[in-house]
Amino acid sequence: MIEDKIDELGFVLPTVPVPLAAYVPGVRTGNLIFTSGQLPMEAGVLKYKGKVGTEVGEEDAKHAAQIAVLNCLAVVKSILGNLDFIERVVKLNVFVNSDSKFGNQPEVANGASELLVKLFGEKGKHARAAVGVNILPRDASVEIEMIVEVK
């Protein structure tokens, strides 16, 4: 059970985040689920705000990426009922609120990618784009969206 593994690794699957606006947390089309962009929300609080490289350190940003991807999983669970119905994690897009000199977006995004592989094994190996941006909603340090294939 994936949710047991989340517990064993010391993480918490969040409750489904309420969208900041007029959209829904995720949509299923065929056997793909597209999640909305998720911020590092923990118990309703946005963690690790600010620009990575100056205001937020790389390790903290990596942790922010872990929290954001857990929110993606919470969205998938809200649609699918059970994370064990995930057939494959297909794609992550990781946006990092970055100082213009900070080029370690891959290391930050690894916070999310490594957690998925720990949880899902081979099924957790995904394609990924990691890019820097100059600002994110509410000055979040990281925003992640996910595509998964389901059974």
Answer for which of 10, 30, 44, 81 binds its own copies (CB under 8 A) is 30
State the burial class of residue 68 (Cβ atoms within 10 Å of its Cβ: 0-12, 13-18, 19+).
buried
What is the CA angle 86-90-95, rounded to 5? Answer: 120
151 lines the binding site for its own copies (CB under 8 A) = no
The residues with which 142 forms a beta bridge, in sequence order, are 96
3-state secondary structure of 116: helix
**Which window, 1-9, 10-18, 128-136, contacts its own copies (CB under 8 A)?**
128-136
Six token digits for residue 15: 């409750």
Of the candidates 30, 48, 31, the residue with the CA atom closest to the CA atom of residue 39: 48
Ranges within 64-83 binding its own copies (CB under 8 A): none
Taking CB under 8 A as the criterion, the residue among 17, 25, 66, 86 binding its own copies is: 25
**Residue tagged 């057939």 (tokens):** 87
Q: List the one residue from 8, 15, 27, 54 that touches its own copies (CB under 8 A).
A: 27
Residues in 4-23 that interact with its own copies by CB under 8 A: 19-23
Residue with smaller CB distance to its own copies, 60 or 143:
143
Return residues touching its own copies (CB under 8 A). 19-27, 29-32, 34-37, 51, 88, 90-93, 95, 98-107, 109-110, 113-114, 117, 125-140, 143, 145, 147, 149
